[in-house]
Structure 1
Amino acid sequence: MLNVKLKWIEFENLRTGLKIERVVFNDDITLLVGLSGVGKTQILNAIEYSLKLAVNKNLRLEPYNTTLCFQIGEEVYVWSYRIQQDHTEDIFEPKEIKYFFAYEKLQNIKGDILMQRTPDTIQVTGYDKVPTPKKDESLLVQYSEDAFVKPIISEMLKLYPIEIEMDVRGAIAQESFNMFKAKIKESFKENEKQPFEKFSHLPVPLKIYITKEYYPQMYAQIFSAVKELFMEINSIDIVEDPDREIYMVAIDVYGKRLLQHEISNGMLKTIYYIVELITMSKNSLVLIDEFENGLGVNCIDVLAELLLGERRDLQFVITSHHPKIINQISNKKWKIIERDIATVKNFTAEEYGIMHSQHDAYFNLINRWEFEGKI
């Protein structure tokens, strides 16, 4: 399996004027540190939108000017696109497309252009003549089945960002769950040794069901991590609530079953985090905005250890304000985010002048912000 990583991104919102200067990411974890409102979440949003745009036909276009760099194995690619408002009028065609791709280019780090479009030209490797492309879809989407693009898209899908911003109170309709169970059962009749990655995109309750029924080792890993935090939990399951005709997560605590709506928000969110982190596809890019939100202090340590130690194949870009999170992640992995009017800037700890011991770096950062009147 190839190693796939996001290397850097540059971004500009042409509607608002917001510009994000190039942010270079670490291969393992990048912690975005900064005060509220400086643009940390905007960086996550720019990453997520761009990667979805490369593989999704139906994504709504936004007026963005973006360049991102990603590595697949030993090969490094740079993909640029500019989406802007369509001011043309066609009396024969309903005006449905508000924005269009004004520019797009995919090239390798050596400078070889694999595909490119401008208002006047279109170029795609392997074609002498290229038909006019759809103006509301990326060339990556339109040529995703071509021999030279298919392997790139296949690997980019592994970079598909998993944003852990979960609805921990959502349940599954009885009819939908029963249909899902039947399909899964049929799938395992055909191939009982299929890899779990096939199911890694599913909602957490469904992944709990699948691991417990078909992947006992993975379920044991999930349960062990949960048990380390919550000794009182004896089982995790997904069960039916016949009165409301839904299925939901349930736990057994000291012999008493607690349904999803009876479990504390912090405990439930921690369970969801554990399931997600253990079941994610290899080489996934994971975006987590304010990692600590809704978690108990004792949960942060275990989840941070799981995040930093157990899944070394994953690439994380996370934001946090919590000193426990910030102190657990080496300051060499920090990107300190600041905003100058409409420009989001970023600095390493060394560039920011706080490259001290881990403990001192955090307090030096806080003291500097306080001295500069930012807090």
Structure 2
Amino acid sequence: MLKKMVIFGLLILLVMVAAGCGGTAKAPDTAKAPETIKIGVTGPISGEWALEGQGFVKAVRLLADQVNAKGGVLGRQIEIVEGDDKGDPKEAALVAQKMVAGKVTAVLGSYNSSATEPASQIYDEAKILHITPSSTATKLTEKGYKMFFRTCFLDNRQGLFVAEFITGTLGKKQVALIHDNTTYAKGLADWTQKFLEERGATVVFNDAITPKEKDFTPTLTKLKGLNPEVIYFTGYFSEGGLLARQAKELGIKAVFMAGDANNNPDFVTNAGLDAANGVFITTLPMAQDLPYNEAKQFVADYKAKYGKDPESIWALTEADAFRVVVEAIEKTQSTDSAKLAEYLHTQLKDFPGITGPITFDEKGDRKGAVHVAYQINEKGEFVLYKK
């Protein structure tokens, strides 16, 4: 019995020695890959404004893929977290709560001011950096939120441009303003009225339509009797195109104009080529008219990846929002939102954006303003207006 035990022990010893000498046994690999840096992208990814929200996602994913291919930021990959708020304020609040729970470093969105407004409060309370590319309502940065920024320009600046364009470039004095009572549209209408009246123009009408309605003939019939020289619509393209169509059908001779939320190919679809022809759209310069090398490179990369140019200027301002977040992370060597916001407020100067140099003021608003007018031609193309 003792002999058998000795032999068994020697066998075990030999197996252990062989395993050690063979070099095939490895200690378990317990090293983990660094955690990703989560950046939220929110907007109307579905619904009537889906073209805008999907453009946000495409733009940011393109840039995130490029950054990740080069090793990421701070040795970490960027993870994009999508949030579909459908352009609805209640949905936007729910999406914001999910982003907070998901511990994102920053959020880029939303599209419309009415959705951005409730979300901005949630992000500010959670101390999460929040940058909107397209919510232009002036009052959004009058709340004192330290975490809120935007890469677009404000309604008051667009209103000033519109007033100067109508009274100066077009030489018109009788103006009708139509809005839809949303935060953005009513704000733009009121600012435009202020600057028009300061320039001696008369606002013969400033009232709202109901969003999502299809028949605006009662409002337009009332307008027709006031004999405006210009109609300026400050709402969104869904209704803007229909207004242009129905104004044409009613024989209204006034010049039809619309604000930057109508800088969208669906405006032409809704209006029809005949009614869209000659309409003026006031907006930021579109991709093809931006002179910056960053814009040319982004558009080329976007087309190479998706087979077409960006369909909206807001995809480019969303891309700029992503780029300034990455810049802040790199410069601060941190993903702490408070440090990133402090950097954007105090140190980011003339950052070479796709849409031009970017500097933020103490409120988080982008300094400066660049607005232009496009006139839609008989082919439905938006052509930069030069008088």
Tell me the TM-score range normalised by the shorter chain: under 0.3
Q: What TM-score, normalized to structure 2?
A: 0.25
Give 1 or 2: higher helix fraction.
2
The two structures have a TM-score, normalised by structure 1, of: 0.26
Bigger strand fraction: 1
Higher RCO (CA-CA < 8 Å; seq separation 6+): 1
